[in-house]
Amino acid sequence: MTNWGTRPIWSMSGSDMLAALDAVHADLARLQTYRLELLAALDANGHAAELGARDTAELIAFRHRLDPREVRRDLRLATALPKYPDVQAALTSPDGSSADQPDLHPAQAEAIVTTLERIPTAAMVPVEHLRVAEQQMVKAAQALNPSDLRTLGKRIRDRLDTDGTEPAEARALAAETLWLKRGDLGVEFGGYLAGENAELFQTLIVAGARPYLTADGERDPRSRGKRQADALTQLLTTAAATGSAAPAHGSIKPHLTVTIDLENLKSATGTGVLGSGTTLSASAIRRIACDAGIIPLVLGSTSEPLDVGTEHRFVTQAIRHALNTRDSGCVICKAPPAMCDAHHIVHWADGGRTDITNLALLCKPHHIAVHQGHWTVHFQNGRPHYTRPAWSTTPNKPSKDPPSTAA
């Protein structure tokens, strides 16, 4: 192993830094290969069960505070390597000795092994053909990164699987998966979709994530990842609003249970706790309570339950249809009704009624903005009007719009 830290980085030239990085990557490859060998040996040893862990992956994930999915991925590679001698021989040796084959790093090895492992047994591919495919991919790894190797692997797999596309498509559909886990102030998720499901998902996300120009003609400030997340959120919101993911068309939203102090709910300060254990601000709870099926567990000053409520501010299907007809969308930006929430102008926690004389349609961004106090909505002559926030008018110039605009 290289002796690091003997020379300050600030004293290095560009070529020195690049040479040092080359050495670091070589050492990392050796350590990662050694780690794979240890993982396989530890798993075969059964020591995890002796310690009381469910399995080796759980032991390592807990012990080193690693993502369990990544540990299981590495363990799958470690235990599969003995079946692929060319891959195993090409991996950088932990002791630094050179291999006959070009060196692989473990991420490349994972791409090759995963490709070969996914060739179905039912395809009855001769062993010698698999060996040739393995050798071809190891050789290709001299020039290809892991992503490119996976692309090559798909072509090789398609060529070897002579059963045709239909069985492969069926297997791909059967392998579809989605995982969810609690994240910081939200949820983390990932998964795999196949065939037409993948195409539908990609088409909708790409269409919804197209960048736009701001009102000032500037480029969309959102990152690609944020735009794609916004596109997915909008799809989910639309599905729920149109009845694809809710009991009734455009009216009944998913049910939520929240525990919150009564004074916090009324003043929109403090926090509440959702049924999943997620903490949510009182202002956010007031906003989603406008249109989601919230069941409040209201606590008094000594934290005793005052009321395990019912959905006493429930927006019925008839009310929702009337709102759609009257407002024709968000009363501020005219986003279509399917993308809107039914907003209580006088909040139900403050005694506001759940009827059309106290409700207005708002898209999610403007619903949030109203509850944050940036915009205000009120009734005038039986119709909702909005008042612009101060930032919507250029400083030192009078607004050409009246302070209150009919929806």
- Could you tell me the pLDDT band of residue 123, with boundaries at 50, 70 and 90? low
- Could you tell me the pLDDT band of residue 81, with boundaries at 50, 70 and 90? very high
Instruction: State the average pLDDT over residues 25-44.
Output: 91
Name the helix (H) or strand (E) containing 74: helix 68-80
* pLDDT of 149 strictly over 80: yes
CA 53, CA 73: separation in Å to the nearest integer?
18
* pLDDT of 399 strictly over 50: no
Decide if 45 contacts 106 (C-beta within 8 A): no
Q: What percentage of residues in the chain have a pLDDT greater than 70?
A: 69
- Could you tell me the pLDDT band of residue 215, with boundaries at 50, 70 and 90? low
Amino acid 398: pLDDT = 45
Amino acid 26: pLDDT = 86
Amino acid 387: pLDDT = 84
Rg of the Cα atoms in the chain? 29
Amino acid 406: pLDDT = 47
Q: Which two tokens stand for residue 119?
A: 């060739």
Chain mean pLDDT for the chain: 76
* pLDDT of 328 strictly over 60: yes
Name the helix (H) or strand (E) containing 342: strand 340-344
Please state which of the ranges 91-95, 142-146, 246-250, 320-324 shows the lowest mean pLDDT.
246-250
Decide if 338 contacts 241 (C-beta within 8 A): yes
- Could you tell me the pLDDT band of residue 264, with boundaries at 50, 70 and 90? low
Which of 45-54, 240-249, 360-369 has maximum average pLDDT? 360-369
Q: Does 124 or 154 have the greater pLDDT score?
A: 154
Taking each continuous run of H as one helix and of E as one strand, the counts in the chain are: 15, 12
